[in-house]
Structure 1
Amino acid sequence: MQQKILLIAIVGFLVVAAGAWFLFSNGGTSSQNNTQELSDTVVLVNDEEIARAELENLEAQIAAQQGVDVASLDAANREQFQAQALDTLIANALIKQAVANSGITATEADIDAQIETIKSQFPDNAQFQEALLEQKISEADLRSQVAEELAQQAYFEQTLDIALITVSDEEINALYEQEAAATEDIPPLEDVRDQIESFIFQQKQQELLAAHVQELRSAADIEILI
């Protein structure tokens, strides 16, 4: 199970606060009419077209992740749900464009190392291949997505000053006390200190990314068509 979760994390999506960005593959449709409908452009991001299929696929993934029955939502909540998914697609497009414009790419050695790390989480190659089949991607697709993810990580490290992020003892203690007040039988601080520090660090990363996405968006030419 852990191995499959790891692969899903690589080929599924990464959510980062309000500036969420997603990596995902599109599914097909069986009806010609549906295919035409789903291919309609829903937004232009600096002249890059985002198709309705991408929006609906992302909505389905978010709904599954959050346990939301989209069909049961009223009009206002349905509109809000769609707007959040659309914002995520816009953010993702902006980040991909920024990475491409920066010229940052992943090296073949780094890609190979990451692929081997993923494979090492599986008992054997057969189970790795089975997981790929379940995710409906090829090894070449995985490699492409890993390359994109590594390039984005390098871009974030260079652009967002992640190395300057620090977590103080005061922040760790404050969050622990907050959780202790709301949770029974919480483990001693020394047992969960590393997890709390990591959580706070990730929150600060998310804040930096959200702010950067907002900067990219304010400078972008975005036309929403729905």
Structure 2
Amino acid sequence: MKFKKVLLPFIAGALALSLAACSEEDKAAKDAKDEAPQEETKQEATKDQEATKDQEKAVKEMQEKLAKQQVDKNKIVAVVNDEELKGVEYNAALSSIQGQMQQMGQDPSSEEATEQVKAQTLDTLVNQTLILQKANEAKLKAATTEIDEEYSLLEKQFGGEKAMKKALKSQSMDVKALKEQIADSIVFDKYLDKVAPAGKVTEKEIKEYYDQVAATSKDSGQELPPLEEVSKDIEGIIKQEQQQKLLAAHVEELKAAAKIELKI
């Protein structure tokens, strides 16, 4: 599991899922309109309308299937070191994981995936809680300016204030709840830098990583930019992978020492 962005994906994933559903419907209607020739026959217009309706129906059916995996927002889903985790947190994590699976071309609503999604969601929640508990013990905080900056970036990512509010409403969230999750994400990153600092990355490691990716890209008919143009990006990726390994080991230690009870 990737830990670096364990919190913001709850936000971004849930919002992206709702926005994707809305934009899919809007896009289908827009495409049918934009692509229609000026002298389109009535029969062709009917076919386009039917295709749009089919797309909208498919999106709606998927939303309904995914919603069935949610739990009551007040239901206690787990207890971690006497801290109760409720359905509202579970559902946020669930939406993110569902969205990530869809982005990878997987169907999170299938019968086979249902238990996998549930287990992954609970594991993610427990990991997040253990990390934040330790971060709070270390008295790590998120400044108001940091929260506002992250919120502005997220709002811009989702197309402005109106689109953001629409997405929040679809997820039964408000700005206050969103900023609380952003604060947790900032605290998480500070804790990550504290317990899993990235080491120095050598030029040899960057070159080896580049060569591996270049070989894969060549097989698929793509060509990478020159090494000097992407070396900084590769360095960041390698550092993140280093932190992932360190934090994963740290979380396992926290789990071994924690009292964890799953309720669903």
TM-score after normalising by structure 1: 0.71
Name the structure 1 match of 2:235. 197
Greater C-alpha Rg: 2
- Distance apart, 1:167 and its partner CA: 0.9
Given the superposition, is the C-alpha separation of residues 144 and 22 from structure 1 closer, same or farther in structure 2, using an over 3 Å criterion?
Answer: closer
Which residue in 1 is equivalent to 2:209?
175
Q: Output the CA distance in 2 between the equivalents of 1:191 and 1:20.
A: 25
Identify the residue that residue 39 of structure 2 maps to in structure 1. Answer: none
Partner of 2:251: 213
Match of 1:3 in 2: none
Is the 8 Å Cα contact of residues 20 and 88 (structure 1) preserved in structure 2? Answer: no
Gap regions ≥5 residues in structure 1: 1-15, 28-33
Instruction: Give the Cα separation in 2 of the matches to 1:129 and 1:120.
Output: 6
C-alpha root-mean-square deviation of aligned residues, in Å? 3.3
How many angstroms does 1:38 deviate by?
5.1
Go from structure 1 to structure 2 and tell me whether the alpha carbon gap of 1:63 and 1:176 turns closer, same or farther (over 3 Å shift).
same
- 1:10-25 map, 5 Å: 17=2, 21-23=6-8, 24=10
Q: Is the CA contact 1:104–1:154 (under 8 Å) kept in the aligned structure 2?
A: yes
> Which secondary structure state, in structure 2, belongs to the residue aligned with residue 70 of structure 1?
coil
- Residues 186 and 106 (structure 1), Cα distance of their counterparts in 2 relative to 1, 3 Å cut: closer
> CA distance change for structure 1 residues 57 and 105 in 2, over 3 Å: closer, same or farther?
closer
Q: Does 1:130 align with 2:162?
A: yes
CA-to-aligned-CA distance 1:127-156 (integer Å, 9 cap, x gap): 642243033154444443333333222222
Give 2:78's aligned amino acid. Answer: V
Describe the SS at the equivalent of 1:50.
strand
Distance 1:116 1:213 in 2: 28
- Which of residues 88, 91, 95 is equivalent to 2:131? 95
Q: What does 1:99-110 align with in structure 2 at a 5 Å threshold?
A: 99-110=135-146
Sequence identity of aligned pairs in percent? 32
CA distance in 1, matches of 2:245, 2:183: 24
Q: How many residues align?
A: 196
Matched, 1:160 2:196: yes
Hey, what does 2:186 align to over in structure 1?
A: 150
Mean CA deviation greater in 172-181 or 53-62: 53-62
1:84 paired to 2:120: yes
* CA drift at 1:106: 2.4
Residue of structure 1 in register with 2:52 after alignment:
none
* Contact 1:63–1:70 (CA under 8 A) maintained in structure 2: yes
What is the rounded CA distance, in whole Å, between the counterparts of 1:89 and 1:19 in structure 2? 14
**Mapped partners of 2:166, 2:79: distance in 1:** 32
Matched residues in 1 for 2:251 and 2:210: separation?
30
Q: Which residue of 2 aligns with 1:43?
A: 78
